[in-house]
Structure 1
Amino acid sequence: MRKLFAVAGCVAALALVPSAAVATPGGGVSGTILAKGTSEGALKLKTSGATDVVVRTLTIAPGGTTGWHYHQGQVIAVVESGTLTRTLDDCSVETTTAGKSFVEPAGGRHIHVGRNLGSTPVVLYVTYLLPEGAPISVDADAPAGCP
């Protein structure tokens, strides 16, 4: 019984300690993987070894956000519907409308956030070219001075 109280006390104390990471959480986003495959060798990307190719749809509800993040590999996206507003690592803002596409470079120096500031869902078709086993995205802190 004492061990139970000790563990509960430690957990409660840890809950009060502020976290070092303050990554901005996403919300109102859903994704469906349509296809995934791994290349037999490097795809002449800036990676060595095999590459995971992932194709998925991503839907961002009105008012939704991806949260600040980056990708360990290059991303190619097409906006199927709606208007996507992205804020980039230098605090610049890019807007992409239905029928347009964009490319996101790989790496932690290229953090960004995607938002749906409109009244209709944003639907994207996204292809990720990732180092084998890498996650689709990695959460990141907002750059200093960016909204």
Structure 2
Amino acid sequence: MRRKLRSTLSSAAVVGLLLAVLPNAASATPSRGVTGVTIFEHVVGDTDYVLREVTIAPGGTTGWHYHPGPVYGYVKEGLLNHYDSSCASDGVYRAGQVISEASGPGYVHIGRNLSDKPLVIEAFYQNPVGQPLAVDAPNPGCPFE
């Protein structure tokens, strides 16, 4: 009985892992030219508060993604071109400006640095504990990544 239970649980875990990983791995749009440094991280209750400095190299992109929790950003240097899943620009943000991003798979978006200078953003995440800061998503049909 114990052996059968262990075998069933192991099989279920493998199937769950394959279902969770394989579809996204095949269609996700990876970031290019993005680096990040965590400045601050603190958990309060079921929320993980994280402050990161994110740098996107000239011509770089975040790749299509969404966030499990809301994100607030401050453009420290450069120019951020931001697009939603309709392929439309939903903002161009310059140094000194702020941006907020909604959470959940209903808000797939991409950030691009179309300039010839680095883009630096201070990003503040209010994330559910145990969740990644961003979840890769497939290109929703836009002619760019």
TM-score (norm 2): 0.79
For 1:37 and 1:145, locate their aligned partners in 2 and report how far apart those are by CA, in whole Å.
36
SS of residue in 1 equivalent to 2:124: strand
Following the alignment from structure 1 to structure 2, what is the Cα–Cα distance between the partners of residues 140 and 104? 15
Runs of 4+ in 1 over 3 A off after TM superposition: none
Equivalent in the alignment of 2:94? 97
Which of 62, 65, 83 aligns to 1:87? It is 83
More helix by share: 2
* Residue equivalent to 1:37: 42
CA distance in 2, matches of 1:84, 1:125: 12
The 2-side partners of 1:31 and 1:23 are apart by: 20
Q: Specify every segment of 5 or more residues in structure 2 that has no aligned partner in the other structure, as ranges.
A: 1-21
Equivalents in 1 of 2:142, 2:80: separation in Å? 21
Alignment of 1:34-73 (within 5 A): 34-40=39-45, 50-73=46-69
Deviation at 1:133, TM superposition (A): 1.1
Which 10-residue stretch deviates more, 106-115 or 136-145?
A: 136-145
Does residue 1:26 correspond to 2:31, yes or no?
yes
Residue aligning to 1:110? 107
Alpha carbons of structure 1 residues 131 and 98: separation in structure 2 relative to 1, 3 Å: same
Q: How much is the aligned-residue C-alpha RMSD, in angstroms? A: 1.2
Percent of aligned pairs with the same amino acid: 41
Q: Scaled by the length of structure 1, what TM-score is found?
A: 0.78
